[in-house]
């Protein structure tokens, strides 16, 4: 491994080299600092109820460590991002498995665990072909692994749940790790994470103040058409604003490409949210977990992230050429 590759994987000294990273981290820290004052002020002037005040406090406290967990690995180096993404994938899949009852199928869980680990290896090794092949290979193994049990009852259900769980929460979220092989991974990942999380907030706020017509009342009664359109506009604007700096001097610099990227992130972010809402309604549970106070589980927090990373990766690869092509490939396996 040469020094450039080492820097890419573990080089934390270059964390604040890009102005977008500096600006975004400063902005996030400022928002976290101002939030308790704002909550206190709103409560003081009776704008929010004591119950909402309590809930906002809980959410703010959760955001403190969530920010550290999300931004920390990005600043520390690409290898930490890949590990964090694999851990997030596993947590999300576990919540899905517990909610659907799939967790009782040990062979399928073991295959998905190995699949997520293999995705991590592919990311760290920067072996894109291995990464792409794992979708088909792992799905195939999931279909085969329970055959020796000689139990056809419920076969289709458990295999389908296993494959859907792996593709959505292992393979799809794992693309964030694949993006970490690009030299601009820090601002790029901050752009994706920030725009996806703010997309949720934009939809909620705009919907709360201006919305009345429900978007999909059976799947998610809280979402409105106006909120969705508002999020689309605001998130796209944010992506264009940040993207101008991140992609300066590349084919992505023009407004039309950034507009497409913004729409893609906002639309898929909202669709990911709706997918998880549909799953929750189908199973009949409100939250898929309880580990993040005020939010629910990992999937309740990161549901919008499920569809975005592969779309962004392939869109940028289409516009700019394969992401990470300027970095060493197959770092450990050679070739």
Partner 1 sequence: MNDWRYDPAHDLGLQTNQRHRSTLRESDLTSSVLRLGWLMTVRTILKCWNRLEIHGLENLPAQPPFVIVANHSSHLDTVVLASALSLRWRDHVSPLAAGDYFFATPPLAGFSAVILNALPIWRDRRHGQRHELGDLRERLMNQSAIYIVFPEGSRSRDGQLHEFRPGFATLVAGTAIPVLPCHLSGSFAAMPPDANAVRPRKIILQIGTPLTFETVANRAEGWRQVAAVIRDKIVALSACELPSRKFHPRHWGEKLLLIARFSRLLLRRRLRSLAGFGGTFRSQGCCWKFELGGRPLSQPMSGKVLSINTSSASADKVTVK
**328 backbone φψ class: left, alpha, beta (φ>0; ψ -120 to 50):** beta
* Closer to partner 1 by Cβ: residue 6 or 106: 106
- Is 148 a binder of partner 1 (CB under 8 A)? no
Distance CA 222, CA 15 (A): 39
- Is 276 a binder of partner 1 (CB under 8 A)? no
- Is 72 a binder of partner 1 (CB under 8 A)? no
Of 19-27, 188-196, 281-289, 312-320, the segment contacting partner 1 by CB under 8 A is: 281-289
Task: Provide the minimum distance between the beta carbon of 162 and partner 1 in the complex, in angstroms, as a whole number.
Answer: 13
* Closer to partner 1 by Cβ: residue 107 or 322: 107
- Is 157 a binder of partner 1 (CB under 8 A)? yes
Got the DSSP string for 214-283? EEETTTEEEEEHHHHHHHHHHHHHHHHHHHHHHTTTSGGGSHHHHHHHHHHHHHHHHHHHHHHHHHHHHH
- Is 60 a binder of partner 1 (CB under 8 A)? no
Binds partner 1 by CB under 8 A, chosen from 6, 283, 318, 326: 283
Provide the terminal-to-terminal Cα distance of the chain, rounded to the nearest Å. Answer: 13
3-state secondary structure of 22: helix
- Binding residues among 108-137 for partner 1 as defined by CB under 8 A: 109-110, 113
Task: Provide the minimum distance between the beta carbon of 110 and partner 1 in the complex, in angstroms, as a whole number.
Answer: 6
Under 8 Å between Cβ of 185 and 123: no
Q: CB-hemisphere CA count at 13 Å for 275?
A: 19
- Is 326 a binder of partner 1 (CB under 8 A)? no
Q: Which residues neighbour 97 within 8 Å (Cβ) at sequence distance 6 or greater?
A: 103, 109, 112, 161, 165
* Closer to partner 1 by Cβ: residue 167 or 291: 291
Q: Which two tokens stand for residue 99?
A: 């909610």
Distance CA 111, CA 158 (A): 13
Q: Which residues neighbour 114 within 8 Å (Cβ) at sequence distance 6 or greater?
A: 138
- Is 101 a binder of partner 1 (CB under 8 A)? yes
Binds partner 1 by CB under 8 A, chosen from 290, 325, 326, 332: 290
* Closer to partner 1 by Cβ: residue 92 or 109: 109
Binds partner 1 by CB under 8 A, chosen from 60, 103, 117, 204: 103
- Is 48 a binder of partner 1 (CB under 8 A)? no
- Is 164 a binder of partner 1 (CB under 8 A)? no
Task: Provide the minimum distance between the beta carbon of 138 and partner 1 in the complex, in angstroms, as a whole number.
Answer: 16
Binds partner 1 by CB under 8 A, chosen from 15, 287, 320, 322: 287
Of 95-103, 177-185, 265-273, 312-320, the segment contacting partner 1 by CB under 8 A is: 95-103
List, in sequence order, every beta strand (DSSP E) within the chain: 214-216, 220-224
Binds partner 1 by CB under 8 A, chosen from 50, 148, 249, 284: 284
- Is 291 a binder of partner 1 (CB under 8 A)? yes
* Closer to partner 1 by Cβ: residue 98 or 214: 98
* Closer to partner 1 by Cβ: residue 32 or 110: 110
Of 186-194, 268-276, 284-292, 323-331, the segment contacting partner 1 by CB under 8 A is: 284-292
3-state secondary structure of 292: strand
3-state secondary structure of 334: coil
CB atoms within 10 A of CB 298: 24
Distance CA 173, CA 187 (A): 18
List contacts with partner 1 (CB under 8 A): 94, 98-101, 103-104, 106, 109-110, 113, 157, 282-285, 287, 290-291
């Amino acid at each position: 491994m040469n020094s450039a590759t080492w820097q890419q994987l573990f080089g934390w000294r270059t964390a604040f080299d890009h102005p977008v990273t500096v600006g975004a981290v400063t902005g996030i820290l400022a928002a976290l600092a101002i939030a308790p004052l704002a909550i206190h002020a709103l409560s003081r002037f009776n704008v929010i109820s004591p119950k909402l005040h309590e809930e906002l406090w809980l959410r703010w406290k959760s955001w403190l460590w969530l920010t550290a967990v999300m931004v920390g690995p990005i600043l520390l180096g690409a290898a930490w991002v890949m590990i964090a993404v694999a851990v997030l994938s596993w947590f999300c899949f576990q919540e899905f498995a517990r909610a659907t009852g799939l967790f009782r199928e040990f062979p399928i869980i073991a295959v998905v665990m190995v699949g997520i680990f293999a995705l991590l290896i592919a990311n760290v090794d920067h072996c894109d072909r291995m990464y792409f092949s794992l979708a088909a290979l792992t799905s195939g193994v999931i279909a085969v692994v329970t055959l020796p049990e000689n139990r056809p009852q419920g076969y289709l259900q458990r295999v389908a749940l296993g494959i859907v769980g792996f593709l959505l929460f292992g393979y799809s979220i794992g693309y964030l790790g694949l993006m970490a092989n690009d030299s601009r991974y820090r601002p790029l990942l901050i752009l994706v994470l920030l725009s996806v999380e703010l997309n949720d907030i934009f939809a909620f706020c705009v919907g709360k103040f201006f919305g009345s017509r429900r978007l999909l009342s059976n799947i998610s009664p809280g979402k409105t058409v106006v909120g969705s359109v508002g999020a689309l506009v605001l998130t796209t604007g944010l992506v264009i604003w940040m993207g101008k700096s991140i992609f300066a001097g590349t084919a992505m610099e023009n407004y039309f490409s950034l507009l497409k990227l913004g729409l893609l992130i906002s639309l898929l972010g909202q669709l990911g949210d709706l997918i998880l809402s549909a799953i929750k309604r189908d199973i009949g549970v409100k939250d898929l977990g309880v580990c993040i106070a005020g939010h629910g589980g990992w999937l309740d927090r990161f549901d919008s992230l499920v569809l975005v990373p592969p779309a962004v990766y392939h869109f940028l690869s289409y516009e700019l050429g394969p992401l990470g092509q300027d970095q060493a490939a197959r770092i450990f396996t050679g070739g």
